[in-house]
């Protein structure tokens, strides 16, 4: 999620109300009773029995469009229906669930394991697809640009880390990418470089940039879509703090899972279930620098992020590329 908080426009709220009626009507016909609540625009909903919070989060609406989120209380699941058809360049909404765990906030260096998991689906129209189903052709026909991502907020100050608006650093883990959705600092020539880490069966490439609020955004972007994801992602965090890209003492305060919606000519529904976070606090296990794979010579990284070259010695650049979990 990026930065600006814009006032909701009157037009959006009207459209959102229409969209709610539409969405509730359609879901009533197709998956009767599946969802307990629908909220739209910038409204949040909290499941009373467990305080799990969901937010439609249309923080940057364009002239044409809406964002709603329908929530099933038990077991927790949601379907986010949206359309943003006028401005294709930026993120308009991030419908999401906030994941909670005892132990947050905690310093990055005090995370010994962080398991993130989720299942999702995406397709055109207002009807959620079954878990793991992606209608690639339908999304392409709508010109859909969106991602599916975990969003982790980090700040040296534990209180600041608890809010998207005050955290100095945002660490994203993209497990889906459609159309022209690009992380901040995206470089098409950097699809596969040494700034790559594998966790579970997913390979991630790191990009870095700043959003409009000035938040430092570090994005690990999976090289393929993972409609079912469950992995111990602390190596992705260690890569960042052991190389000084974020301070080791920075606290993780907030973790969300959702989909950043950029653009679609027609209605799209993203749905999610089985989302969870499991945090083990305590001193982080040691990561060690392994052997340099042949393809990871400095020359192979033709487009390393500027910040790494300018702020580190060449030795540090090389070692930054190779962290392997020993224990
Ligand atoms: C939900 O949050 C409220 C307010 O913080 C708290 O009083 C309540 O005990 C919480 N309920 C559950 C089930 O955690
Ligand atoms: C995810 O699927 C879409 C649609 O088929 C495809 O265009 C895109 O390249 C995939 N994303 C990744 C990261 O492979
Ligand atoms: C670090 O983790 C330990 C073990 O869970 C915990 O007792 C301690 O409070 C944590 N420290 C901080 C600063 O959060």
Total number of domains in the chain: 1
| Residue 163 in domain | yes
226: domain range? 8-32+98-120+139-264+271-326
d(CA 240, CA 113): 15
Say if CB 42 and CB 72 are below 8 A apart: no
pLDDT in tens, 261-281: 999 999 999 999 999 999 999
What is the model's pTM?
0.83
Assess if residue 81 is contained within a domain. no
Short-list 21, 33, 136, CA closest to 68: 21
Report pLDDT for 123: 98
Provide the pLDDT for residue 294: 56
- 224 CA to centre of ligand 2 in angstroms: 6
Residue 240 has pLDDT above 80, yes or no: yes
| Any atom of ligand 1 within 6 Å of the Cβ of 51 | yes
Closest ligand relative to 120 C-alpha: 2
Q: Does a structural domain hold residue 72?
A: no
Q: What is the mean pLDDT of residues 135-147?
A: 97
Q: Is residue 247 part of a domain?
A: yes
Query: Strands, DSSP E only, in 73-211?
Result: 77-84, 96-99, 106-107, 111-124, 145-155, 169-178, 196-199, 202-210
Q: Check residue 122 and give its pLDDT.
A: 98
- Phi, psi dihedrals of residue 221, rounded to the nearest 5°: -115, 120
CATH number, residue 311: 2.60.120.180
Q: What is the pLDDT of residues 161-182, one digit of tens each?
A: 999 999 999 999 999 999 999 9
Domain membership of residue 304 (yes or no) is yes
Atom of ligand 3 nearest to the CA of 105: 14
Residue at 125 is within a domain: no
- Mean pLDDT over residues 128-142, rounded? 97
> 3-state DSSP call for residue 201?
coil
Contact 200, 169 (CB under 8 A): no
- Tell me what the pLDDT averaged over the chain comes to: 81
Domain assignment present for residue 37? The answer is no
Q: Is 74 in the pocket of ligand 1 (CB under 6 A)?
A: no
Q: What is the pLDDT of residue 288?
A: 56
206/36 Cα distance (integer angstroms): 38
**Whole-number Å distance between alpha carbons of 182 and 280:** 31
Q: List pLDDT tens digits, range 185-196.
A: 887 766 555 677
Is pLDDT larger for residue 154 or for residue 293? 154
Q: With a cut of 70, say whether residue 14 has pLDDT above it.
A: no
Q: Does 284 map to a domain? A: yes
């Amino acid at each position: 999620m990026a930065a600006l908080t814009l006032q909701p426009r009157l037009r959006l709220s009207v459209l959102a109300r229409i969209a709610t009626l539409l969405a509730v009507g359609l879901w009533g016909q197709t998956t009767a009773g599946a969802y307990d609540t629908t909220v739209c625009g910038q409204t949040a909903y909290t499941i009373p029995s467990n305080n799990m919070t969901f937010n439609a989060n249309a923080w940057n609406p364009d002239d044409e469009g809406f964002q709603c989120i329908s929530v099933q209380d038990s077991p927790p699941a949601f379907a986010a229906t949206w359309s943003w058809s006028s401005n294709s360049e930026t993120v308009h909404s991030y419908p999401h669930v906030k994941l909670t765990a005892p132990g947050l906030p905690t310093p990055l260096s005090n995370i010994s394991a962080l398991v993130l998991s989720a299942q999702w689906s995406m397709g055109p129209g207002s009807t959620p697809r079954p878990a793991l189903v992606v209608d690639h052709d339908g999304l392409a026909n709508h010109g859909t640009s969106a991602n599916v991502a975990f969003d982790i907020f980090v700040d040296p100050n534990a209180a600041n880390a608890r809010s998207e608006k005050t955290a100095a650093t945002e660490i994203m883990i993209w497990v889906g990418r459609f159309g022209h959705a690009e992380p901040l600092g995206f470089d098409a020539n950097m699809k596969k470089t040494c700034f790559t880490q594998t966790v579970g069966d997913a390979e991630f490439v790191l990009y870095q940039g700043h959003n409009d609020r000035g938040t430092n955004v570090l994005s690990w972007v999976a090289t393929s879509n993972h409609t079912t994801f469950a992995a111990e992602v602390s190596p992705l965090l260690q890569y960042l703090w052991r190389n000084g890209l974020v301070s080791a003492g920075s606290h993780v305060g907030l973790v969300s899972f959702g989909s950043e919606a950029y653009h679609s000519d027609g209605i799209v529904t993203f749905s999610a279930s089985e989302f969870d976070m499991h945090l083990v606090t305590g001193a982080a296990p040691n990561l060690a620098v392994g052997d340099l794979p042949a393809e990871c010579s400095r020359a192979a990284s033709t487009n390393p992020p500027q910040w790494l070259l300018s702020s580190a010695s060449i030795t540090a650049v090389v070692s930054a590329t190779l962290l392997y979990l020993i224990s």
